[in-house]
Amino acid sequence: MKLVSRSEWGAAAPTGPYTRITATRGVKIHWEGSPVPAGLAADHSRCAGHVRDLQHAHQTDPKENWIDVAYSFVICQHGFVFEGRGLGRQNAANGGPTLNARHYAVCAMVGTSGSTSASTDMLHGLVDAIEYCRAKGGAGPEVLGHRDGYSTTCPGDELYAWVQRGAPRPSGGSGNPSPQPPTPAQGPAFPGRILRLADPMLHGPDVQTVQHRLIERTWSVGPDGADGWYGRNTRDTVAAFQRDSTANGWPLEDDGEVGELTWRALFNRPISR
């Protein structure tokens, strides 16, 4: 990982104490949501200055009471991971103290015009930051967008589509892929009934097993996480997993229902995509 520490990018000191955190559910992905100079993508020597500008803008924002840049990490088009508030500290980007405590905030240096599209190196940098939060910062497996659970267009449609695909590490580029965790050859036994969206709504440990497995596979099952209810979020996520499975050589009908074939794919299909 190409980590740029606060001292390396010339961070100003925070103007107040951080709120300490020891664990999160995972990571939320952001964009800047304003124009980002297109020239940044061609000249990494400008990226540190851009992060300093971002920090200054946040610390002097008249509407907020921010002590520091709002994000945990900021990723440039060259795949460098700029340390924002960093690990073990609550961010200020997700939309309020509860949301900020639940997920780290990782921001891609793209915006509404100028530099709008994430490069392969940037995607590697985003995955590097996610893995770093998990390995060193007590982050859980969730990868969501800022718009999940909060009314905003952030992180933009293109990055959000990548998040919904499970924030995969791209092939190629200059990243340094980590080995995938081993996949068990067998999962738990299929419960013997099809799990689906129904009325009354299905609830129970089998549903929770599916939700936990989806989250393990880096799919989001919605803002309530693995709550054991087979609601619309779970159905939609199962359907997305089924389509992804079909695209990766494990053909499944995308009906959003967990029959035996989908159950087996959830536990036996390799996680690397």
Residues that bind Zn ion (CB under 5 A): 30, 44, 47, 76, 78, 146, 154
For Zn ion, which is the closer residue by CB, 53 or 260?
53
For Zn ion, which is the closer residue by CB, 91 or 245?
91
| Contact indicator for 3, 76 with CB cutoff of 8 Å | no
For Zn ion, which is the closer residue by CB, 153 or 248?
153
Beta bridge partners of 2: 80
Report, in Å, the least distance between residue 267 CB and Zn ion. Answer: 34
- Residue 95 tokens read as 């939309």
Report, in Å, the least distance between residue 191 CB and Zn ion. Answer: 38
* 265/186 Cα distance (integer angstroms): 10
Report, in Å, the least distance between residue 93 CB and Zn ion. Answer: 6
Report, in Å, the least distance between residue 236 CB and Zn ion. Answer: 22
Beta bridge partners of 19: none
Q: What residues have CB less than 8 Å from 192, skipping those under 6 apart? A: none
Report, in Å, the least distance between residue 235 CB and Zn ion. Answer: 27
* 22/13 Cα distance (integer angstroms): 22
Closest CA to 37 of 29, 23, 47, 27: 47
| Contact indicator for 175, 169 with CB cutoff of 8 Å | yes
